[in-house]
Amino acid sequence: MPTAVIADDEPLLIAAFTERIRTLWPDLEIVGIAKNGIEALAQISQLQPDFAFLDIRMPGLTGLQVAENIRDTRVIFVTAFDEYAVAAFETCAVDYLLKPVSDVRLAQCMARLQRDIRLPDLKGNLARLSRELAAPPLAYLQWLTVSLADTTRLIAIDEVRYFQATEKYTEVVTANGRFLIRTSLKELLPQLNPQRFSQIHRSYIVCLPAIAKIEKDILGRHTIYLKDSDTTLPLSRSHAAQFKQM
């Protein structure tokens, strides 16, 4: 059974957050709850949980300091402050949740963690482990640092519905808004998992699971319709072949 430690210095928030996690993932055993960074580090060192949900601003030690001193426990930061996002991922955090955490965002995080924990245990298969160690890792993007007015935010790649090229920037479009990055589509595409993202037009890259349907008009032009949205995207002839079996 997967295990987790939760650390936050606000008792009411930690109680509510713990209950929400148990609802979304009943099999996740909460083995420790800490009210400051020192307790969190002690519990993680002793219990060796699979996951640690850490607030960043805590008495004693910050969540970042805790993360820097643990091994083999995957860290998820839960904080009201977005300015620590880059530092958080430099500690190899697997996710960064901004308070107040929406039900949709928390469910996305839980789904990702469940996928991670279900990966096969390679310790019993030395041959397969050797092959994987010899192969270069696929380092697809997991998150993006985006701009909105004077604010910098972190967006999980799983939240992106599509990318749209503009004159000077690339727009990152999620269910909750549109954000800007300076990376061009040409630079961006090789960094995206091809099982989830595909270029459909010189100005668009779409998240494949976000596609509801594709229609073709009498002139042979293709249009992509997105799920749970009125948004449509053009599918150019040069990219239409990849969707023939859809």
Let me know: does 196 contact 207? Beta carbons within 8 Å.
yes
Task: Report the chain's mean pLDDT, rounded to a whole number.
Answer: 84
Distance CA 108, CA 165 (A): 26
Residue with tokens 């880059």: 86
User: Can you give the pLDDT at residue 126?
Assistant: 43
Distance CA 45, CA 34 (A): 13
**pLDDT tens for residues 197-229?**
999 999 999 999 999 999 989 888 899 999 988
Compute the residue count for the chain. Answer: 246
User: Can you give the pLDDT at residue 86?
Assistant: 64
Share of the chain above pLDDT 90, in %: 37
Let me know: does 53 contact 4? Beta carbons within 8 Å.
yes
Could you tell me which residues come within 8 angstroms of residue 118 by beta carbon, excluding any fewer than 6 positions away? none
Tokens matching residue 125? 């298969």
Query: Is 20's pLDDT higher than 70?
Result: yes
Count of CA atoms in the C-beta half-sphere (13 A) of 221:
6
User: Can you give the pLDDT at residue 132?
Assistant: 45
Fold of 143-243: OB fold (Dihydrolipoamide Acetyltransferase, E2P) (2.40.50)
User: Can you give the pLDDT at residue 89?
Assistant: 64
**pLDDT tens for residues 34-46?**
999 999 999 999 9
Cα 35 to Cα 2, 15, 74, distances in angstroms: 22, 11, 19
What is the residue-wise DSSP string for 147-197?
A: EETTEEEEEEGGGEEEEEE-SS-EEEEETTEEEEES--HHHHGGGS-TTTE
**pLDDT tens for residues 81-105?**
776 666 656 667 788 888 888 888 8
Under the banding of pLDDT at 50, 70 and 90, the label for residue 153 is confident
In this structure, is the dihedral angle defined by the CA atoms of residues 244, 198, 237 and 228, taken in order, positive or negative?
A: positive
Q: What is the CATH number of domain 3-120?
A: 3.40.50.2300
Helix (H, G, I), strand (E, B) or coil at 108: helix
Distance CA 17, CA 106 (A): 10
Taking the model in full, what pTM does it have?
Answer: 0.51
So where are the chain's domains? 3-120, 143-243
Rounded mean pLDDT of 162-171?
91
Of 7-21, 75-89, 168-182, which range is least confident?
75-89
